[in-house]
Chain A
Amino acid sequence: MTTKYTEDHEWARQDGDLIVVGITDYAQNELGDIVFVELPEVEQELSLGTEAAVIESVKAAGEVKSPVSGVVAEINSALEDEPEKVNDSPEGDGWFYKVKPSGNTDFDQLMDAEAYADFLESLS
């Protein structure tokens, strides 16, 4: 299961023919206590880089930009009642949605873990 990353601090992980999407530990730490998540609708079409979900922390509102184009197959409805899961387990229970990608190119072009680590390094 390969996990890849975006410069907007989303992660995308292959899960069979779907891709699971969430935000990275760095992102949840920057946002602080997350109090509200608005997820996309199942069967909603997402294009690369457009807003797929809204995240609100105590401090501010942010968004999840879709790291790949495709159609939403499943959403993590648990986040609607327990948005703090994103803080507690950003790359586990705090996943946002699963998408059926419209091709492989988007995913292939994302950063791998090493490149994302270098990217984070460049921010500090």
Chain B
Amino acid sequence: MNDTESLKHTPLLDLHKSANAKIVPFAGYAMPVNYELGIIKEHLHTREKAGLFDVSHMGQISIQGNNAASLLENLIPVDIQSLSVGRQKYGLFLNEKGGILDDLMIINRGDEIILVVNAACKTADFDYLQTHLGDKLSIRKLDDKALLALQGPMAGTVAERVSGEDLSDMKFMNVREISFQGITCLVSRSGYTGEDGFEISVANEYVTDLARMLLAESEVELIGLGARDSLRLEAGLCLYGHDLSQDTTPIEANLNWAISPKRRSSGERAGGFPGSDIILSQMPKNVSRLLVGLLPQSKAPVREGVTITDKDGNVVGEITSGGFSPSLGYPISMGYVDIDYATVGTELLAMVRNKPLPVNVAKSTFVPHRYHR
């Protein structure tokens, strides 16, 4: 099949192919959905040891100029001015209705702010930044940079061994330069699996060498996008375009923590971001629906798009992500339900192939996070 030929690819495509990856189109890129181990074993390996993910399709954007932090606060509901050099925070782009345009990471490098955005949104995000801040700030796509994620309980050990550096003081969401045997990288201690780990920005020309260097460690296996999805779902982490969209607000998505206290109604710099009136009026939980975890009570996976009803068959919500949890051995889902049904333990029904299957509202963090705090 030649349907992947028109796609863009990351600098690691040859490495993926040599590892016998199954390549699929994702956000316009030819990406590995799994390797020879398969999704379940790749997933479990990441939870037990360390997995290496190519996430070079994601967008990296550099922002420089006077008052960059304060200007970015006009677009993002985060206290960026207090973000220390060498720290990273989660943020959101929003529309005037409070809907989410993208979710992203914000890194303070001192002389620049780096944003890491979703692959499918990166062109729109760049244009959005140019439109709103292009006359005041220098905004650059870092297309010369690839991005790797090293995730799992042994990620720290591996990174320390390969770099020869003591990284014990590098806590969750810290960002610093690390040299891996002469390859200088910008590294954050973060990820999308719920595990300890690192996201490593490195020049395209060195990414293959760096990947091979990390893969040479006995704990490390290549992990595809399939396990990336099941890992983030177990950790209760939202996926843009599925759990988050232009039609969902951060409060509906249970992302209140992503609105910095200083930007909330009684804060020092309250509001002042797109949709702030709507979003702040919805806090803390003044919404008609809420994103919740849902635990199917039978063995059948309950996937995106499935309708949720109450016991009488009235529609009360919809699944936005769902599948089989390799760590737990049973299916897990998340979705939006009417606020009256959002309490943990509420018994609902999911209409799977026209059959009502019981699902219970649950905490969306199905597998506890194990960050290096």
Which residues on A sit within 8 Å (CB–CB) of B300? 36, 38, 54, 56
Residues of A whose CB lies within 8 Å of any CB of B are 32-33, 35-36, 38, 54, 56, 58-59, 61, 80, 123-124
Q: Are B299 and A36 in contact (CB under 8 A)?
A: yes
Most buried by A among B1, B40, B326: B40
Nearest B residue to A87 via CB reads B38
User: Which residue in A38, A54, A56, A124 is a CB contact (below 8 Å) of B324?
Assistant: A56
Pick the residue among B39, B301, B303, B331 that contacts A32 (CB under 8 A). B39
Which chain B residue has the least Cβ–Cβ distance from A38?
B300
CB distance from A34 to the nearest CB of B (A): 10
CA distance A59 to B38 in the complex (A): 11
| Number of residues from B at the complex interface, CB < 8 A | 18
State how many angstroms separate the Cβ of B140 from the closest Cβ of chain A. Answer: 36
Chain B residue numbers with a CB within 8 Å of A54 are 300, 353
Assuming the contacts A56-B324, A58-B226, A59-B33, asked whether A33 and B301 have C-beta atoms less than 8 A apart, the reply is no
Q: Is B249 an interface residue (CB 8 A)?
A: no
Interface presence of B10 (CB below 8 A): no
Partner of B1, one of A32, A58, A124: A124
Q: Check B301–A36 contact: CB distance below 8 A.
A: yes
Query: Given contacts A58-B40, A59-B39, are A36 and B226 in contact (CB under 8 A)?
Result: no
- Structural contact, B33 and A33, CB atoms closer than 8 A: no
Assuming A38-B300, A58-B40, A124-B1, is B324 touching A32 (CB within 8 A)? no
- The yes or no answer to B201 lying at the interface (CB within 8 A) is no
Residues from chain A with a CB closer than 8 A to the CB of B323 are 58
Interface: B108 (CB within 8 A) = no
Residue of A nearest to B33 (CB): A59
The yes or no answer to B46 lying at the interface (CB within 8 A) is: no
Q: How distant is the Cα of A124 from the Cα of B1 in the complex, in angstroms?
A: 6
Pairs of residues from A and B, 5 with the lowest C-beta to C-beta distance, nearest first: A35-B324, A58-B39, A33-B40, A56-B301, A33-B38
Q: Which of A33, A36, A123 is packed against the most chain B CB atoms within 10 Å?
A: A33
Are B353 and A59 in contact, CB atoms less than 8 angstroms apart? no
Further contacts, 14 of them, CB under 8 A, given A35-B331, A36-B324, A58-B40: A32-B22, A32-B34, A33-B40, A35-B301, A35-B324, A36-B300, A36-B301, A36-B331, A38-B300, A58-B39, A58-B226, A58-B230, A58-B324, A61-B301
Nearest Cβ on chain B to A61's Cβ, whole angstroms: 7
